[in-house]
Amino acid sequence: MLRLTWVQPEDLLGHELRQARLDGRSPAAIEARWRAAGGPDAPPRAGASLHRASRYLRLLAEDLLDELADLPSALSEDEPTGLERIKSLCTDWPASGHGRCAAAPAPAALEAAWLGRAIGCLLGKPVEKLPLDAVRALARAAGNWPLTGYFTAVGVPGDLLAAHPWNRRSAATCLAENIDGMPEDDDLDYPLLNLLLLRRHGKSFSTADVARLWLDELPPGRTFTAERLAHRNLLSGIEPPHTARHRNPFREWIGALIRADVHGWTNPGDPAAAAEQAYRDAVLTHTANGVYAAMFAAAVIATAACGSHDVHACLRAGRRVVPPRSRLARAIDHAVRLAESHEDFDEVVDELHAVYSPAHHWVHAIPNTALLAAALTHADGDFSGSICAAVSGGWDTDSVGATAGSVAGLLAGAPAALPERWRSPLKNRLTTTVADFDGTGFDTLAQLTHLEATRP
Going by the annotation, the residues of the binding site are: 396, 398-399
**DSSP code, position 364:** B
What one-character-per-residue DSSP string does 284-323 give? Answer: TT--HHHHHHHHHHHHHHHHHTTSSS-HHHHHHHHHTTS-
Kindly give, in sequence order, each residue whose CB lies less than 8 Å from that of residue 225, ignoring residues fewer than 6 positions away.
6, 47, 250, 253, 255, 363
CB 170 within 8 Å of CB 416: no
Compute the distance between CA of residue 374 and CA of residue 390 in angstroms, rounded to an integer.
8
Could you tell me the CA-to-CA distances from 120 to 22, 56, 96, 174, 409 in Å, in that order? 29, 44, 30, 11, 10
For residues 385-405, one letter each, b for 16 or more C-beta atoms within 10 angstroms of the residue's C-beta and e for the rest, the string is bbbbbbbbbbbbbbbbbbbbb
Question: Binding site for Mg(2+): residue ranges?
Answer: 396, 398-399
Neighbouring-strand partners of residue 364: 253
By three-state DSSP, how is residue 430 classified?
Answer: strand
Q: How far apart are the C-alpha atoms of 234 and 185, rounded to whole Å?
A: 23
Q: Which amino acid belongs to residue 110?
A: L
Residue 243 contacts residue 285 (beta carbons within 8 Å): yes
DSSP for residue 43? P
Contacts of 347 (CB under 8 A, 6+ apart): 338
How far apart CA 449 and CA 199 sit, in angstroms, is 9
* 156 Cβ contact partners less than 8 Å away, ≥ 6 residues apart: 138, 141, 142
Length of the chain: 456
Burial of 44 (0-12, 13-18, 19+ CB in 10 A): exposed
